[in-house]
Structure 1
Amino acid sequence: MKTLLQIILTGVIVLVLSNILGGVYVTDFFTAIVVAALLALLNIFVKPILLILTLPVTVITFGLFLLVINALIILMADGLIGGFSVDGFWWALLFSVLLSILQSLIFVVAERPRK
């Protein structure tokens, strides 16, 4: 149940960011949910492989290369989903940074115990 809630909240964030950022386009809410689910799957299966392959560069850049890996995962999702479009690498980088920040904030608030 927690994972489903996180995917729905991420879908809402994706939809909001697509309305704010000029280089990111999502056709509807269902597509945003699909983007959120695909990003979760790509982060589970593809990101560890990319981390291992780029470990020396990641260590040399003190972890900043992880931002590039996140942008590449966003671009992979762009290629796999028809109703989702990102105009280029820099838009994907900005989108991934904002998505990570907003996910962190919203998930902390959502998981806070009620009194």
Structure 2
Amino acid sequence: MGRLRRSRTHRAQRDVHRASRTRARTRDLDQIQLIDLDPKNRAKLEAQALDLEKPGLAQHYCVECAKYFETDVALRSHWRSKVHKRRCKALKEPAYTIEESERAAGLGKEGKRPTTTAIPPPAPEVAMS
């Protein structure tokens, strides 16, 4: 028997989970629905001026995913991918409102307890004959 091979994954990386939490995040679905998918804003995003700081000079942008691509070929390939299709399907559902989130957390009007406890009326007795 020889020595067992040690795992070589994540070498010299102290906390793998922390690294994944601090990655750059894309925009949330509700931000995209309320801001980017508006026809005026969408036209501005699709026809952006040249920007040297952004990938592909900001000429190849997917509005639904809020991502820049280097080339037009990469953008077209992205449009055919599962990631883009899933994102489009998720964007078709209505966005959560603040009221819905408060109700889910128990802070809405329906979640509050009544100030007085109501005593239920007694059940009517059924006479047997």
Length-normalised TM-score, structure 1:
0.30
**Greater radius of gyration (CA):** 2
Q: TM-score scaled by structure 2?
A: 0.28
Task: Judging by fraction of residues, say which structure has more helix.
Answer: 1
